[in-house]
Amino acid sequence: MAISRSQLLKELEPGLNALFGLEYDRYDDEQAEIFDEESSDRAFEEEVMLSGFGQAPVKGEGAAVTYDTANEAFTARYTMETIALAFAITEEAVEDNLYDRLSTRYTRALARSMANTKQVKGANVLNNAFDSNFVMGDGVELCSTAHPTVGGGNFANEPATPADLNETSLEQGLIDISAFIDERGLKIALRGMKLIIPPQLQFVAERLLASNLRPGTADNDINATKSMGMLPDGYVVNHFLNDADAWFLKTDCPNGFKHFVRTPIRTTMEGDFETGNVRYKARERYTFGVSDPRCVYGSPGA
């Protein structure tokens, strides 16, 4: 349905001083703080987790060397989604407008809607991180206490007991990350790089990471997290996270959060011969996901 003059009566009145409602500032591209962007030319992308070899055994004198095999562990699939939104303005509404061009004003609103959708979809990867209805390639949710491995063991990127963000839980999370194993049970050298939080935890995060002494205590101890240079990328606030007390640590895992772009955003316009309406459309194709769950450690809060 086209936007007609009946929906724009006040905009057609002489003496109108200001139009408002479309000029709000919007949050920066917060998903870019989490996801690595890659281009795609396919309907879907697949990334395969490979397992290496197990621990090398001792070879007895004169005995044959032990052979091991490498396998594919699981596949992460990224299916492209098409995101689109359009609006139309009647020919009469364009002709009778006395102020700014309606097309310019509502095209900005269209861009804001498209950007908001991208922020929501990116944040939903973390919003669904503890939900067993949204599983990874290994068959469990993104943050789990029992990620299976080819070697038969499990690794956890979630605390056994959910904990709110505080000094103790943050330090334990960093310790747990340092104990991550690969698909054959070998320890890997990962570290926490960035704390990702909802706006409700930004003041807690500032006290935890910025104070020189331990926060919330009368002890004259140093803030170990800051002194040791842990979390070198600090913390970021994502305003599209739904859980007020969930928090996440992004690690330096090489293939983790991925944002595949199939078609960058494009805007088009055309006039309709019969009605004279002018139609505007924005469209893009992309998807968000995770290849290796070792890229994150998260807690849903207590």
Greatest extent of the chain over all pairs of C-alpha atoms, in Å: 99
What pLDDT is recorded for position 14?
45
Find out whether 251 and 177 touch, Cβ atoms under 8 Å.
Answer: yes
Instruction: Give Cβ neighbours of residue 163 (< 8 Å, ≥ 6 apart).
Output: 169, 172, 299, 301, 302
DSSP 8-state class, residue 96: H
**Is the pLDDT assigned to residue 96 strictly greater than 70?**
yes
What pLDDT is recorded for position 22?
53
Which has the closest alpha carbon to 109: 232, 276, 282? 282
For 110, the 3-state DSSP assignment is helix
**Is the pLDDT assigned to residue 19 strictly greater than 50?**
no
Instruction: Give Cβ neighbours of residue 46 (< 8 Å, ≥ 6 apart).
Output: 75, 76, 77, 78
- With 0-12 / 13-18 / 19 or more C-beta atoms within 10 angstroms meaning exposed / middle / buried, residue 270 is exposed
Up-side HSE of residue 232: CA atoms within 13 Å toward CB?
4
Rounded to two decimals, the pTM is: 0.87
141 DSSP β-pair partners: 135
**Is the pLDDT assigned to residue 287 strictly greater than 50?**
yes
What structural domains does the chain harbor?
A: 31-52+73-299 (3.90.1690)
Q: Would you state the structure tokens that stand for residue 71, as one six-digit string?
A: 């396998």
**Is the pLDDT assigned to residue 13 strictly greater than 50?**
no
**Is the pLDDT assigned to residue 20 strictly greater than 80?**
no
Residue 290 CA to residue 122 CA, distance in Å, equals: 11
User: 102: pLDDT confidence band, cut at 50, 70 and 90?
Assistant: low
**Is the pLDDT assigned to residue 248 strictly greater than 60?**
yes
**Is the pLDDT assigned to residue 278 strictly greater than 90?**
no
Q: Would you state the structure tokens that stand for residue 22, as one six-digit string?
A: 């479309």
Cα–Cα–Cα angle for 258, 199, 301, rounded to 5 degrees = 80
Residue 164 CA to residue 166 CA, distance in Å, equals: 6
User: 165: pLDDT confidence band, cut at 50, 70 and 90?
Assistant: very high
**Tens digits of per-residue pLDDT, 176-205?**
999 999 999 999 999 999 999 999 999 999
Residue 139 CA to residue 120 CA, distance in Å, equals: 24
Sign of CA dihedral 276, 282, 284, 288: negative
**Is the pLDDT assigned to residue 73 strictly greater than 60?**
yes
What pLDDT is recorded for position 136?
92
